[in-house]
Amino acid sequence: MKHSNLNLLRGVLAFGLVSNFSLQVAGSCQEASGAQPVTIAFFDVPNLPARIDEPKLRESRPGFVLECAVANRSSEQLLGLRLIMLVVDHSGKLRSRITWTEESELSSYSIKGFAFHPIMKGELRSTDQFYLGIEEVIGQETIWHTVGAEKALRAYSRSQPDVMPEVRTMANKFDRSPDQFAPLKIRP
């Protein structure tokens, strides 16, 4: 009985040492690959057909990569997004405002992972806070534009989530697929 308890104790200690060693190796490999991704707060506007889930910003060799999932809440195929990101320091002062457009084809009522590439200048501080919003959603037939997106996002960064931008829609006359046009009849 004493031998079985001793062997059990040896097994538990050996497993603990191996687990601890593998965690240390995994941790050092993660540190060698670069900094941890930074979580970004997303400001959701319910009247927009797109929503961004779990946005994370990480530094890569040519710049920065924003990894996230985009959900399409409409029956229309989405073609792209115009995004706005605010970089706010620890005291609440706006350090930077970045806007950019990304192609993001997404079928109706679906969700898909994307890697966006914001053009960010300057160094990021460890105390910076990031706030992301959607300024415009480009669909196959419709464009949704938020009026006052930056003002609402700025209010959200100050813990005032009740400021909602107005969403205006317009027909997308530029990105229609060729099969939606009537064929031209050529007269002899």
List the one residue out of 59, 61, 66, 131 whose CA is nearest residue 97.
131
Residue 132 has a pLDDT of 97
- For residue 171, how many C-alpha atoms fall within 13 Å in the half-sphere facing its CB? 2
Q: Is the CATH code 3.90.1200 the one for domain 38-171?
A: no
Among 78, 81, 144, 71, smallest CA distance to 105 is for 78
Q: What is the mean pLDDT of residues 4-20?
A: 50
Query: 28 falls in which pLDDT band (50, 70, 90)?
Result: very low
Whether the Cβ atoms of residue 99 and residue 82 lie closer than 8 Å to each other: yes
Q: How many CB atoms lie within 10 A of CB 35?
A: 11
Using the predicted structure, report yes or no on whether residue 106 has a pLDDT greater than 90: yes
pLDDT at 101: 95
Domain extents in the chain: 1-31, 38-171
The pLDDT of residue 124 is 79
The backbone torsions φ and ψ at residue 107, rounded to the nearest 5 degrees and listed phi first, read: -70, 165
pTM over 0.75: no
List, for residues 61-102, the tens digit of each pLDDT value.
Answer: 778 999 999 999 999 999 999 999 999 998 889 999 999 999
What is the residue-averaged pLDDT of the chain? 81
The three-state secondary structure class of 158 is coil
179-to-182, 183, 187 alpha-carbon distances in Å = 8, 9, 21
Handedness of CA 27, 31, 34, 36 (dihedral sign): positive
Residue 5, φ and ψ in degrees, nearest 5: -65, -40
